[in-house]
Chains A and B, each alone.
Chain A
Amino acid sequence: MKIGAYVHIPFCLARCYYCSFTSYAVGASAEQDIYQKQIEPYLNALIKEVGIYKDLLKGKNIQLKSLYIGGGTPTCLSGGQLFILLDTLRTNYTYSEGIEITVEGNPGTIGPEKLAVLKEQGCNRLSLGVQSFNPKELRVLGRIHSLPDVYNTYKIARTMGFANINLDLMYGLPGQDLNDWKKNLRQIVDLQPEHISLYQLNIEEGTPFYHLYQRGLMEKFDQDQAFYMYEEAINYLTEQGYHHYEISNFARPGKESRHNKLYWQDEYYLGLGAGASGYLDNMRYTNMSSLKQYQELVNRGERPLEQQEKIGPSLAMAETMFLGLRLLEGVDKRKFQQHFQVNIKDQYGEIIENLKSQGLLRETETHLHLTRRGLYIANEVFMEFL
């Protein structure tokens, strides 16, 4: 069986104001001491965890078809550490032919040296957290990188032969208007990345933005504005030859992210590292997000689970729907039948008809997929299946 693997590197030089994911700030100037005091033991534990899963999957003929190293900021690691990590993964797991290996990087923490290591270790897809092409907006977000960092890193990566690059871009930023957004879109297309991820800024609990919001110093972004920005992005990027294949993802034809798709197509993947999530044998699990707890468990030879949940048949069907519908091609009705031994109409007939009559779902010979309107208010559709 071919599965994916996600590896989480929970370190950043500084935390961005909007981010609520597991990550610990290590500080820009702490290059050696404090910085290493956190990262070294973590990396050792991570390597042990790789071993734990290797044993667990032994004899099951498992191959990785996609590997995604995300964060945090994986490029917080030194070149040597990146080498060890990638090398450990490759020597412990079987990679299938043509495996997609993505590493996320912050344009401010990745130079030629680290890029060379990545290239050498088989990384064939880079994902850069650009977020904005407007220096003012970058400051607002609390990003540590500058606009020249973006251009430099991108240029070096290209020169070194990275032929599949994703750039992340955010919209709905405080003070951003439609024109600012259009400019961002033009600038991202100018760089001609193979893949573009777009997402709207959300005010998440526990972030500095959330504090501002609670104290009335920051407002939620206007829904109509966000709609116009999203619509503009879809129209413009499609016009520019990008394939809008998933709610927030655009790619040159053939460059759709395999890793991304496996989440939406209900496939299994390992989750490695503090705070990472995985899905194996009908179980979804999430690892300890505390570094200390994560390391303690792993060092005792145990899976560092914070929680796990068995996905029974009815929940699995619901997931197939609300995840599958994120892809613009939608849910394959025949695959549904094959997988669950239930006709999709028997399971969700009434809901489907209702959503169709509201103009949110469309049915073809083979698939069920969101309409354009359904895409904009996909949550309303998804929640019907829960």
Chain B
Amino acid sequence: MEQKTIRNFCIIAHIDHGKSTLADRLLEYTGALSAREMTAQVLDKMDLERERGITIKLQAVQMSYQAKNGQEYLINLIDTPGHVDFSYEVSRSLAACEGAILVVDASQGIEAQTLANVYLALEHDLEIIPVINKIDLPSAEPDRVKEELEDVIGLDCSEAILASAKDGTGIEDILEAVITKIPPPEGDQDAPLKALIFDSHFDSYKGAIPYLRVIDGVIKKGMDIKMMSSGKAFEVTDVGVFKPALTFVEELLPGMVGFVAGSIKNVKDTRVGDTITSAKKPALKPLPGYRKATPMVFCGLYPLETNEYENLRDALEKLQLNDASLIYEPETSIALGFGFRCGFLGLLHMEIIKERLEREYKIDLLITAPSVIYKVEQTNGESLDIDNPTKLPPVQQIETISEPFVQATIMVPTDFVGPVMELCQERRGTYLNMEYLSVNRVMLKYELPLSEIIYDFFDQLKSRTRGYASLDYELKGYKNADLVKLDVLVNGEVVDALSFIVHKESAYQRGRAIVEKLRKLIPRQMFEVPIQAAIGNKIIARESIKALRKSVLDKCYGGDITRKRKLLEKQKEGKKRMKQVGNVEIPQEAFMAVLSLDEK
């Protein structure tokens, strides 16, 4: 296969704008998969992805396409995850491509996430092919969307392809555009090997398998390769491509996309963005852009049953094999016992891990509210990184606290500018600017503390804009802030797992909100239970849960004792699923209560 007949591209799209369906159609059209072989949407492999309709893990597929000009082309579609948590991964898969298809919903227009990814693609000099999808919908307004693309991104949309992935319209046009508009890969077969890792997975027989795009040189079976970030070397035992099932080949040449196996024991050695080179004839410099994935959101994960601790540790270990961005270390909570403090790329990532632990490993989990990393300068000159609110030193030892903040881009119809601004103000946002995308859509930029975003910001944004707003953000740095730790006392005792860090100005209001919320979430106990919120020794809010008054089954119909017993057993089971903290039984949801304090 000649280099000039290779095309590598990815699809940039907002959630629900039809990326996965389009990918399916392309696979079908090129015969990579027959319609029968496809359970809808092949690229989204995990159950969770399919359920939520989003792509979490990157995948790649090779297709061969017989073009109208008679030439046969080898085209690689590299999928990108569609969520802000994974923007680094997106940037790496873009770096593995020469072009991108920008899919925009014909009735929705461009969204914040898409825009951010388009800019990323432009930074990587990718050729962009605009595709207006879902033109079969009655509400489709392709001309308006084209105009928006031209105004906002400055893309020439005169040749934008009108498509409907659902009914197959425009699929051939897209493939033709891929081969005519996207340039073939450049790269020198004789230069030292440089291959970019854009993803990996863990296979229990073959170990960690990096997915890569060869930039220069050749990678073949039997050669020794080296990871440029760590210097670790491995022998290549297998080379292959995705069709979409893993298929072995002899070698990968410049421009090709595939995988290698080489008894690499740990996915940590196949970091996304790292460069693979030859151990014997290494490249001088790695490819640009590599960085280690940095978790932004932390929370405590505790097994509901203390004897599940070991299982939880094993499960985390296994998940980490496939996901180098997940970090965890043991921690202890006075209230919850032994567990782990885990770091995630973002909230979605956290939720995915949680669901996988519960679904695949069947561990009942208790999760504490997520936190960011706060940087504390102490009066003794030492500095601390705090990923768990309980570790915050006493007030008198703190010189300053700073917190991460982000620049958020929000796109929203003009009608909702008011509510969005209000929300951003409530969350301590600083207004940066506002740009009109079209007559009735604007792009707002705000600077916001990350801690305010990881709670229910996105849900609130959606609900206050009837689902029309889209959000993207990037980390900007740290800033000093007037922050305090808010403790929650249940029955007079501090429950460490409920503590959170909050801005002083909203402490009172959040303190009220949390005790109110806990009063509703914690069921009545045998005795009255006071719930208090405190800053240091000062109680700022109080509620009490009344003692259980009446709990009794009435008469017995037709002598069905078994039914009565089962009801009691169910009630007892429910009690067991709560965490006993002191004398009080606290349900799991209570530990996440702080997440949704602003719900009305």
Question: Which A residues form the contact surface with B (CB < 8 A)?
Answer: 6, 8, 21-22, 70, 197-200, 202, 223-224, 226-227, 230, 247-249, 263, 269, 271, 275-279, 284, 286, 307, 309, 319, 322-323, 358, 375-380, 382-383, 386
Task: Please tell me which one of the listed residues A223, A382, A386 contacts residue B550 in the complex, with CB atoms under 8 A apart.
Answer: A223
Given contact pairs A275-B558, A276-B559, a sample of 5 additional A-B residue pairs in the complex whose CB atoms are under 8 Å apart:
A230-B550, A249-B555, A271-B559, A286-B562, A379-B551
Taken together as a complex, chains A and B put the C-alpha atoms of A247 and B554 apart, in Å, by 7
Asked whether B557 is an interface residue with its Cβ less than 8 Å from the other chain, the reply is yes
* 18 A-B pairs (CB sep. < 8 Å): A6-B558, A199-B555, A200-B550, A223-B524, A223-B548, A271-B559, A277-B558, A277-B560, A286-B560, A286-B562, A322-B565, A323-B561, A375-B552, A377-B526, A380-B526, A380-B551, A383-B572, A383-B575
Task: Please tell me which one of the listed residues B555, B557, B559 contacts residue A278 in the complex, with CB atoms under 8 A apart.
Answer: B559
Query: Which chain B residue shows the least CB distance to A202?
Result: B554
Residues from chain B with a CB closer than 8 A to the CB of A223 are 524, 548-550
Q: A319-B561, A383-B571, A386-B565 are in contact. Are A248 and B550 (CB under 8 A)?
A: no
Task: Please tell me which one of the listed residues B546, B553, B554, B572 contacts residue A386 in the complex, with CB atoms under 8 A apart.
Answer: B572
Residues from chain A with a CB closer than 8 A to the CB of B575 are 383
Taken together as a complex, chains A and B put the C-alpha atoms of A350 and B453 apart, in Å, by 50
Asked whether B556 is an interface residue with its Cβ less than 8 Å from the other chain, the reply is yes
9 tightest CB-CB pairs across the interface, nearest first? A199-B554, A227-B549, A227-B550, A277-B560, A383-B572, A378-B552, A379-B551, A377-B551, A248-B555
Q: A377-B526, A379-B568 are in contact. Are A200 and B554 (CB under 8 A)?
A: yes
CB of B568 within 8 A of CB of A322, answer: yes
Task: Please tell me which one of the listed residues A248, A277, A375 contacts residue B559 in the complex, with CB atoms under 8 A apart.
Answer: A277
Asked whether B123 is an interface residue with its Cβ less than 8 Å from the other chain, the reply is no
Task: Please tell me which one of the listed residues B555, B560, B561, B571 contacts residue A379 in the complex, with CB atoms under 8 A apart.
Answer: B571
Asked whether B351 is an interface residue with its Cβ less than 8 Å from the other chain, the reply is no
Taken together as a complex, chains A and B put the C-alpha atoms of A146 and B563 apart, in Å, by 31
Residues from chain A with a CB closer than 8 A to the CB of B557 are 21, 70
Q: A319-B565, A386-B565, A386-B568 are in contact. Are A377 and B550 (CB under 8 A)?
A: yes
Residues from chain A with a CB closer than 8 A to the CB of B568 are 322, 379, 382-383, 386
Taken together as a complex, chains A and B put the C-alpha atoms of A198 and B572 apart, in Å, by 25
Taken together as a complex, chains A and B put the C-alpha atoms of A322 and B549 apart, in Å, by 19
CB of B526 within 8 A of CB of A358, answer: yes
Give min CB distance, A348 to chain B, whole Å. 15
Query: Which chain A residue shows the least CB distance to B557?
Result: A21
Most buried by A among B526, B551, B572: B551
Give min CB distance, B273 to chain A, whole Å. 49
Residues from chain A with a CB closer than 8 A to the CB of B569 are 383, 386
Number of residues on chain B facing chain A (CB within 8 A): 25
CB of A269 within 8 A of CB of B559, answer: yes
Taken together as a complex, chains A and B put the C-alpha atoms of A198 and B553 apart, in Å, by 11
Residues from chain A with a CB closer than 8 A to the CB of B562 are 277, 284, 286, 307, 309
Taken together as a complex, chains A and B put the C-alpha atoms of A376 and B556 apart, in Å, by 17
Chain A facing B: main interface SS: mixed
Query: Which chain B residue shows the least CB distance to A6?
Result: B559
Residues from chain B with a CB closer than 8 A to the CB of A227 are 549-550
Residues from chain B with a CB closer than 8 A to the CB of A271 are 558-559
CB of A376 within 8 A of CB of B550, answer: yes
CB of B524 within 8 A of CB of A379, answer: no
Give min CB distance, A139 to chain B, whole Å. 22
Give min CB distance, B259 to chain A, whole Å. 49
Taken together as a complex, chains A and B put the C-alpha atoms of A216 and B557 apart, in Å, by 28
Residues from chain A with a CB closer than 8 A to the CB of B559 are 6, 263, 269, 271, 276-279
Taken together as a complex, chains A and B put the C-alpha atoms of A202 and B555 apart, in Å, by 11
Taken together as a complex, chains A and B put the C-alpha atoms of A145 and B575 apart, in Å, by 40
Give min CB distance, A181 to chain B, whole Å. 14
Task: Please tell me which one of the listed residues B550, B556, B560, B563 contacts residue A226 in the complex, with CB atoms under 8 A apart.
Answer: B550
Taken together as a complex, chains A and B put the C-alpha atoms of A227 and B526 apart, in Å, by 14
Query: Which chain A residue shows the least CB distance to B560?
Result: A277
Within 8 A of A (CB), among B526-541: 526
Task: Please tell me which one of the listed residues B549, B554, B560, B563 contacts residue A376 in the complex, with CB atoms under 8 A apart.
Answer: B549
CB of A277 within 8 A of CB of B524, answer: no
Taken together as a complex, chains A and B put the C-alpha atoms of A323 and B548 apart, in Å, by 21
Most buried by B among A22, A276, A379: A379
Taken together as a complex, chains A and B put the C-alpha atoms of A6 and B560 apart, in Å, by 10
Give min CB distance, B524 to chain A, whole Å. 7
Query: Which chain B residue shows the least CB distance to A384?
Result: B572
Contact with A along B553-589 (1 / 0, CB 8 A): 1111111111101001101100100000000000000
Taken together as a complex, chains A and B put the C-alpha atoms of A275 and B557 apart, in Å, by 10
CB of B565 within 8 A of CB of A197, answer: no
Residues from chain A with a CB closer than 8 A to the CB of B549 are 223-224, 226-227, 376-377
CB of A379 within 8 A of CB of B552, answer: yes
Residues from chain B with a CB closer than 8 A to the CB of A322 are 565, 568
CB of A279 within 8 A of CB of B561, answer: yes
Q: A224-B546, A279-B561, A386-B565 are in contact. Are A197 and B555 (CB under 8 A)?
A: yes
Give min CB distance, A213 to chain B, whole Å. 17
Give min CB distance, A250 to chain B, whole Å. 12
Residues from chain B with a CB closer than 8 A to the CB of A309 are 562
Taken together as a complex, chains A and B put the C-alpha atoms of A219 and B524 apart, in Å, by 18
Taken together as a complex, chains A and B put the C-alpha atoms of A307 and B561 apart, in Å, by 13
Give min CB distance, A334 to chain B, whole Å. 23
Query: Which chain B residue shows the least CB distance to A376?
Result: B550
Taken together as a complex, chains A and B put the C-alpha atoms of A202 and B558 apart, in Å, by 17
Query: Which chain A residue shows the least CB distance to B526?
Result: A358
Query: Which chain B residue shows the least CB distance to A22?
Result: B558
Taken together as a complex, chains A and B put the C-alpha atoms of A8 and B561 apart, in Å, by 15
Residues from chain B with a CB closer than 8 A to the CB of A70 are 557-558
Taken together as a complex, chains A and B put the C-alpha atoms of A322 and B571 apart, in Å, by 14
Most buried by A among B546, B552, B554: B552
CB of A377 within 8 A of CB of B558, answer: no
Give min CB distance, A345 to chain B, whole Å. 22
CB of B555 within 8 A of CB of A378, answer: no
Taken together as a complex, chains A and B put the C-alpha atoms of A386 and B554 apart, in Å, by 18
Residues from chain B with a CB closer than 8 A to the CB of A22 are 558
Taken together as a complex, chains A and B put the C-alpha atoms of A202 and B562 apart, in Å, by 18
Taken together as a complex, chains A and B put the C-alpha atoms of A202 and B556 apart, in Å, by 13
Taken together as a complex, chains A and B put the C-alpha atoms of A309 and B568 apart, in Å, by 17
Taken together as a complex, chains A and B put the C-alpha atoms of A106 and B548 apart, in Å, by 35
Residues from chain A with a CB closer than 8 A to the CB of B546 are 224
Q: A224-B549, A227-B550 are in contact. Are A263 and B556 (CB under 8 A)?
A: yes
CB of A263 within 8 A of CB of B552, answer: no
Residues from chain A with a CB closer than 8 A to the CB of B563 are 277, 286
Q: A227-B550, A378-B552 are in contact. Are A276 and B561 (CB under 8 A)?
A: no
CB of A277 within 8 A of CB of B561, answer: yes
Give min CB distance, B280 to chain A, whole Å. 69
Q: A377-B548, A383-B568 are in contact. Are A276 and B558 (CB under 8 A)?
A: yes
Give min CB distance, B578 to chain A, whole Å. 13
Residues from chain A with a CB closer than 8 A to the CB of B548 are 223, 377, 380
CB of B552 within 8 A of CB of A376, answer: yes
Residues from chain A with a CB closer than 8 A to the CB of B554 are 198-200, 202, 247-248
Give min CB distance, B20 to chain A, whole Å. 33
